[in-house]
Amino acid sequence: MLTWFCPNCWESIPEDGSRCPSCGYRLSEYASLSYDEKLLLGLSHRIRENRLAAVSILGERRVERALPIFEHLLENDPDVYVVREIVRALYRFQSEYATRLRVKATGHRAKMVRQAARAALHYDDGQNLEGRAEARQ
């Protein structure tokens, strides 16, 4: 049997309900959201696989609105697998903001995140991004 989750609070909900019994979210509102907005909500999904998928697709689509959320998760998400996926997604973006976040991730407490960030920086080939960030501070 499929389990349905409220896209607002991620409690399980009955398939046919119009409002979430836990938080009152109007489930019909969800249907009217854009694909990108649904992906952004997916970043707080309680199931890791779904969070990973949301991060990855937001990266593929280069959704700039995801970057402030990525920044927050880089600093606060205890799930290092999600944080590593964010670092990988970041190098799809061309903006200065994304670059700054990638440089910041090279100082992350988790080794696998730092490694992913360094690999991503390497990918830029030739550009000394770490040096530029230091010069700006």
By the criterion CB under 5 A, which residues form the site for Zn ion? 6, 8-9, 20, 22-23, 25
The β-bridge partners of 87 are none
Shorter beta-carbon distance to Zn ion: residue 22 or 128: 22
Spatial distance between the Cα atoms of 11 and 108, rounded to a whole number of angstroms: 31
Please, what is the minimum distance in Å from the beta carbon of residue 14 to Zn ion? Answer: 12
Please, what is the minimum distance in Å from the beta carbon of residue 127 to Zn ion? Answer: 44
The rounded Cα 47 to chain-centroid distance in angstroms is: 13
Could you tell me which of 56, 64, 61, 6 has the C-alpha nearest to residue 30?
Answer: 6
DSSP assignment letter at 19: B
Shorter beta-carbon distance to Zn ion: residue 21 or 131: 21
Please, what is the minimum distance in Å from the beta carbon of residue 35 to Zn ion? Answer: 21
Spatial distance between the Cα atoms of 55 and 113, rounded to a whole number of angstroms: 15
Shorter beta-carbon distance to Zn ion: residue 8 or 99: 8
